[in-house]
Amino acid sequence: MKSESRATRKVVHTGAAMRAVRKVRHGPGLEVGVASIPKAESQEVLLEVKAASLCGTDLHIYDWDEWAASNVAPPLTVGHECCGVVAEVGDEAEGVEVGDLVAVEGHFFCDNCPICRIGRRHLCLNMRLFGVTVDGCFAEYVRVPARNVWKLPPDTPPALGALMDPFGNAVHTVFAGGDVEGKTVAVTDCGPIGLMAVAICRAAGAARVVATDVVDHRLELACKMGADNVVNVSDSDLEEAVDGVDVLLEMSGHPEAINRGLGVLWPGGRAALLGIPPGKVEMNLAEQVILKGVSLHGVFGRRVFETWERAANLLKKVDLTPVITHSFPLEDIEEAFALIRSGECGKVVLLPPGNLKAVQGERSIVETGRYNPLEYLDAELAALKSQGLLRTPPVLEGACRARCRINGREVVNLSSNNYLGLCDDLRLKEAVVKATESHGVGSGAVRTIIGTQDLHLRLESKLAEFKKTEAVLVFQSGFTANAGTVSAILGRQDHIVSDRLNHASIIDGARLSRAKVNVYEHSDMDSLREKLEEAQAGARESGGRVLVITDGVFSMDGDIARLPEVVEIAEEHGAIMMVDDAHASGVLGANGRGTVDHFGLHGRVDVQVGTLSKAIGVLGGYVAGNQALIDFLIHRARPFLFSTSHPPAVTAACIAALDILLAEPEIIDRLWENTRFFKDGLISLGFDTGASGTPITPVIAGDEAAAMELSDRLFEAGIFVQGIAFPTVPQGSARVRAMVMAPHTREDLGYALEAFERVGKEMGLIP
């Protein structure tokens, strides 16, 4: 007798509306729309989808290639990899209860045909494919046969639970036709299933694992998952790089990859083919298979449930969290597919809202209380936690000084942008008090109404003189200065040529402008020329303009832009030139005027962005340029138009800080003396500090977990230096980012170097 609780613990309005990703017609594309919540039939369960993941099959359906056109019949809800909570149980369903956390076996077998009866349910003659021939899981709710669910431990992060289907594919492929212990294995294609296969081979005792791909980012992930050798076959010959392999695991379905893989397979070897080719594949069957005595194994899905059992056991040895690199709300399906096409990702997870949304007056009813439209964030946070990236912001107890108190501990502060120590300068404090007494605590409005005070004009005039430009406009932050300027001066018809490592505010401004973005490789002038020529060609066709933009100092690596060359190339092509000088303001150039002054490029950079929040020690950003630029931004820059202006205290403190820079340039000299001392010390200890040429000094640990451990252990030793990992920096280049300040004493920095040496040796980061 079934329990009453499982039918009543959660009530769902079946037939009401929910969000879903649908294939509504023949041809390329998918649509996010509204579908009806299905009803669980007698032997089915209804799942509330907690997380789903994208797969190559979904890409085939999106593109509507030959395979999809032959197998998919719209309209259809797509998606077949998911994790969910059982919301309703059919009358005759057994072995599952409401509230169970489950993954789904996506091959819906009949259990009655001759193939099912001999234990090959994954090859059922009456197969229905989840998300291919029946509605799938890119939705808020989905119904599936009760016999197709696999119970997960209740504390499983949903994002990891959604990977059970592809992980099963990887397990099935690795062991198709035999074991891999002691064998040399080639994994062709380092998509998510290929990455999982690498980790499985390593856990199963393979002697050597070789991974191939055409994207360096994915090959970096393969190294992280345990590959001994990686080969980028776009610029290297696999047969030259690899003597031969015993086992080929072909994951891509690409004809060239299949032939290339068979070419390095030893006589008597075996090949397991999982990837689905887009059409027919030409190959030399005699030379590559028959005469070599090669065994070919086609792999389809997972053995039910033999593979699931094996996968569950392997999960105790294999960490899948590095495979998950991105997650998106269900509505952002187009952005998710674009990322997959770029190849710059591992597994991409979709997060449905979690409960029925209010659509035309309908709501889900959960006995525990109010409908929570933000429940999907739980899965997002769980994914971050599983990757070791869920952090709590540290708490500064007092002023930001060279030595300060953070989270209850006295530490040497190496993580502040307060390069010159002006945050706590007495003269700035006195300016704050005086301005508050004369002008009040707030400006009262946006600049264009009544929020422009005489103090704002004094600051802008002083900044224009400081930067040697006609005019300056102050924004609420450096981020809004960048984003507001780029989005104001460019439009859909224009083109942007941007350094790959530019700050997020530049990237967001480019997106807001809707201009076409051409990204050149970091500080690579040949790449800049190539992308600039592409942009010019596009601009001629669209009638638009071209903007070249770079950071002056790159915030994660501390290297200085090759600005004279960038400016010269921009001038050759008649492009607008823009520099974000956030980390150069107050650091480089005479009196801290920035990289334009540092390189003697006054009058050749059209748009300069600076910050008042770092070396200046206060808050805000600004744009410097000619009068026409500033007048235009006053009328079109949305952050300027729609945000209240700086309070008098902030404005007055900025003015006081500029006065100090002009009167006391020796404060910048002290910053550089400390920088050289500390940087030389780290290098002599054997640390990798990258290409830094500024007070920003990365100490590169490589592995994300190692960087976070280094940060934590240094904190215990009395040094505060934050760890930085993907996606802020590329995977495999995680680091702690140290930044010295002018007020640091040699005692402070010597103490820090001793801690770095001790912890670095204990962790094996230095000899």
Q: How far is CA 715 from the centre of its chain?
A: 26
Report the C-alpha gap between 401 and 409 in whole angstroms.
Answer: 14
Q: Which two tokens stand for residue 254?
A: 């690409």
Q: Which two tokens stand for residue 277?
A: 């080719």
**DSSP-derived pairing of the beta strands 696-702 and 734-739:** antiparallel
Report the C-alpha gap between 592 and 546 in whole angstroms.
Answer: 29
Q: Which two tokens stand for residue 114?
A: 């001759």
**DSSP-derived pairing of the beta strands 44-53 and 347-351:** antiparallel
End-to-end Cα distance, the chain: 66
The number of CA neighbours under 13 Å toward the Cβ of 438 is: 13
As a dihedral over the C-alpha atoms of residue 360, residue 362, residue 363, residue 365, rounded to 10 degrees, the angle is 180
555 is catalytic: yes
Token pair 């062709």: residue: 188
For residue 447, the 8-state DSSP code is I
Strand partners, 734: 702
CA distances from 266 to 211, 245, 246, 247, 356 (A): 16, 6, 6, 8, 54
Cis check for the bond before 727: say yes or no (omega within 30 of 0): yes
CB 148 within 8 A of CB 108: yes
583 is catalytic: yes
Catalytic residue among 23, 583, 646, 679: 583
Report the C-alpha gap between 601 and 582 in whole angstroms.
Answer: 17
Report the C-alpha gap between 496 and 232 in whole angstroms.
Answer: 29
Report the C-alpha gap between 538 and 490 in whole angstroms.
Answer: 14
Q: Which two tokens stand for residue 563?
A: 């600005």
Q: How far is CA 678 from the centre of its chain?
A: 31
CA distances from 303 to 120, 149, 311, 365, 667 (A): 7, 14, 11, 38, 69
Catalytic residue among 614, 646, 679, 744: 614
CB 461 within 8 A of CB 673: no
Catalytic residue among 555, 585, 613, 692: 555
CB 317 within 8 A of CB 311: no
151 is catalytic: no
CB 192 within 8 A of CB 221: no
Nearest to 200 by CA among 165, 228, 175: 175
DSSP string computed for 332-381: GHHHHHHHHHHT--SEEEEE--SS---BTTB--EETTBS--TTTHHHHHH
Cis check for the bond before 38: say yes or no (omega within 30 of 0): no
CB 221 within 8 A of CB 190: yes
Buried b / exposed e over 525-534, threshold 16 CB at 10 Å, is: eebbbebbeb
Residues labelled as active-site residues: 555, 583, 614
